[in-house]
Amino acid sequence: MDLDIMKILVVEDNLDFAEALFECLTFEGYVVDVVTNGKVAWERAIGTDYDLILSDIELPQLDGISLCKKLRWYGYRLPIFLMTGLEPDLPTISTNEAKANAYFFKPFNFQELLDQIRSTVAVPR
């Protein structure tokens, strides 16, 4: 694989939203894997070389904040963006404690996500 192609793991249990993210990100030229729960995301993240993880907060088996904390504890240093449909004030402290690089409140402007990806992730590795 070409080193300048960014690989993103999308962790989203809403299949319609996951499909929309997949389509938009692949249209932009990113390689995208989608999983629907935090446990599988953990396994993929430690076993695959992703440039970015984009994870929902509310997930089955392992929520996004716990996933982020667990990855950081494990030594995972690459960017993790969290997404939520919760009220804006609720997840702020938890996402800061989890050491997420950014978080987005659904629905969000896709261009803002792309801008944040471009400003956060340095490719090639």
Residue 8 confidence class, pLDDT cut points 50, 70, 90: very high
Provide the pLDDT for residue 124. 46
Per DSSP bridges, beta strands 7-11 and 102-105 are unpaired
Task: Specify the amino acid at residue 109.
Answer: N
Task: Specify the amino acid at residue 62.
Answer: L
Residues comprising the chain, all counted: 125
9 vs 91: which has the higher pLDDT: 9
Domains in the chain with CATH codes? 7-116 (3.40.50.2300)
CA distance 99 to 94: 9
Chain position carrying tokens 């969000």: 108
Helices (H), the chain: 15-27, 38-47, 64-74, 92-97, 110-120
CB 100 within 8 A of CB 80: yes
CA distance 15 to 56: 12
CA distance 51 to 121: 7
The model's pLDDT over 57-89, given as tens digits with 9 standing for 90+, comes to 989 999 999 999 999 999 999 999 999 876 655
